[in-house]
Amino acid sequence: MDPRGENRGAAVLELVAGDACVRVRTEEGGRVGSVVVGGRELLVTGDPQGLIHWGSYPMVPWAGRIRRGRFTFEGREHTLPLAMPPHAIHGVAFDRPWSIVDASTIALDLDERWPFRGRVTQAFALDEDGLRVTMTLDADEPMPATIGWHPWFRRTIGAGAAPVELTFAADEMLVRDDEGMPTGERIPPTPPPWDDAFTGLREGPVLEWPGELRLALSSSCAWWVVYTAPVEAICVEPQSGPPDAANHDPEVVLPGAPLTHEMRWRWTRG
96, part of any domain:
yes
Per-residue confidence band for 43, with pLDDT thresholds at 50, 70 and 90? very high
The tally of domains found in the chain comes to 1
257, part of any domain:
yes
* pLDDT score of 217: 98
Backbone angles phi, psi at 28, to 5 degrees: -115, 55
Numbers of helices and strands, H then E, in the chain: 0, 25
4, part of any domain:
no
This prediction has a pTM of 0.94
- Residues paired with 134 in a beta bridge: 123, 262
Backbone angles phi, psi at 68, to 5 degrees: 55, 15
196, part of any domain:
yes
Mean pLDDT on 194-211: 97
What is the span of the domain harbouring residue 109? 12-269
Q: What b/e sequence results for 156-194 when a residue is b if at least 16 CB atoms lie within 10 Å of its CB, and e otherwise?
A: ebbeebeebeeebebeebbeeeeeebbeeebeebeeeeb
2, part of any domain:
no
Per-residue confidence band for 48, with pLDDT thresholds at 50, 70 and 90? confident
Q: Contact at 8 Å (CB) between 217 and 265? A: yes
Mean pLDDT on 84-97: 96
Q: Contact at 8 Å (CB) between 212 and 179? A: no
CATH number of 174's domain: 2.70.98.10
6, part of any domain:
no
Per-residue confidence band for 8, with pLDDT thresholds at 50, 70 and 90? very low
> In whole numbers, what is the pLDDT of the chain averaged over residues?
94
Mean pLDDT on 95-103: 97
pLDDT tens digits, residue range 217-250? 999 999 999 999 999 999 999 999 999 999 998 9
159, part of any domain:
yes
* pLDDT score of 6: 39
- Residues paired with 144 in a beta bridge: 252
7, part of any domain:
no
